Structure 1
Amino acid sequence: MTLQPGTEQLVAEVAAAASDALAEDIVGIDVTGVLPFSDAFVIVTADNPRHLRGVRSAVQDEVHAALGRSPRVEGDENSDWLLLDYGDVVVHIFLPEARDYYALDSLWGRSPRVFLNLAAKIN
């Protein structure tokens, strides 16, 4: 499957915002046709709780500025995993231990990865 252009743009905006906020291990996964509620996941890691909140804010602000979209947020300020639900794209922001524990990368290992051109953002 391939992502629709609007979904692809949202994934790109989310990944760029997360990268700008210095999130690590940014992965896009195409779950089109596999899940009825989403077309893609973006999974990222933040170093600590403060960084997790910063990544969340950066993604929300940049996506809203670029596309006028706001997510439904799951998790609270003290969580080790925040979820931003944009409908067609779900963003998972983890602390390292939680990412290792839930292992979404492995769980969706057979789903195609989405190419994220983050090199263009590094100067």
Structure 2
Amino acid sequence: MTLTEQTTELLNTAARAAADALGEDLVAIDVTGTLPFSDVFLIVTADNPRHLRGVKSGIEDDVYAALGRSPRVEGNEASEWLLLDYGDVAVHIFQREARDFYALDKLWNQAPRVNITEVQATR
């Protein structure tokens, strides 16, 4: 499927913010044809709880500054997995062990990937 310009801008802003906060292993998965409530997942790895909170804050701040959008947040400060739900873009921020355990990358391995390498290369 094809992402809208608005969704692509949100995805790129969130990915750039995650990369700027030193989030790792960024993967974007196009779920437009599969899920009715989201168009793309952005999956990010953080090293520890403090880093996870930093990545979350960086994404929230940058997306709000650029696009005026705030997410619905699932998870709390003690979580190993935070979800920033912007509707069309769902950002999953995992600590490494949780990402390995839940394996969203593998669960969605049949869904197309969205190229965000240019975003990651700017950090």
Shared fold (TM-score, shorter chain, > 0.5): yes
In structure 2, the partner of 1:27 is 27
| Per-residue CA distance 1:21-71 (angstroms, 9 max, x = gap) | 000000001000200100000000000000000000000000000000000
Aligned residues: 122
Q: SS of the residue aligned with 1:26? A: strand
**Unaligned stretches of 5+ residues in structure 1:** none
Determine what percentage of the aligned residue pairs are the same residue. Answer: 66
Distance 2:2 2:78 in 1: 35
Q: CA deviation at 1:103?
A: 0.2
Distance 1:93 1:72 in 2: 14
Indicate conservation of the 8 Å contact 2:30/2:39, yes or no.
yes
Indicate conservation of the 8 Å contact 2:19/2:120, yes or no.
no
Instruction: Provide TM-score, normalisation by structure 2.
Output: 0.97
Give RMSD over aligned pairs. 0.8
Aligned 1:11-22 pairs, distance under 5 A: 11-22=11-22
Corresponding letter in the other structure for 1:79: S
In structure 1, the partner of 2:59 is 59
Q: CA deviation at 1:118?
A: 2.2
